Amino acid sequence: MLYLTEETIREHLRWEALVRAIETAVRREDVVVPRRLSFDLGSTTAASPGRLLIMPSWQAESTIGIKTVTYRPDNARLGLPSHGANYIVMNARSG
């Protein structure tokens, strides 16, 4: 498995080019982009519950992508980011 850090991605990808590539890909007829799944994480201690978002997409013969996002609004008072995200890319043919 290859893991790329945020710093590595920022160093090698231009934001504008990445946005254009994503916009082009999700408009293709052979790319499936279902509605995102959203879950209330709840909390007994936080004033605001967090959320977990799962956003899959795929092209049957090529690639599967899954973006996961966590949202914790109370993190600001702890000096932490409110959002965390990961993107997983897999070969659609071999997993």
Q: Could you list the beta-strand ranges (E) of 17-62.
A: 31-32, 37-40, 51-59
Whether this model's pTM surpasses 0.75 = yes
For residue 46, what pLDDT is reported? 65
Reduced to 3 states, what is the DSSP secondary structure of residue 24?
helix
Q: Nearest CA to 31 among 75, 71, 73, 63?
A: 63
pLDDT score, position 44:
63
Q: What are phi and psi of 30, to 5 degrees?
A: -90, 5
Q: What is the pLDDT of residue 59?
A: 92
For each successive 10 residues of the chain (95 residues), what is the average pLDDT? 87 89 87 94 76 94 94 90 93 90
Rounded distance, CA 83 to CA 74, Å? 10
Angle at 23 between CA 27 and CA 31, to 5 degrees: 35
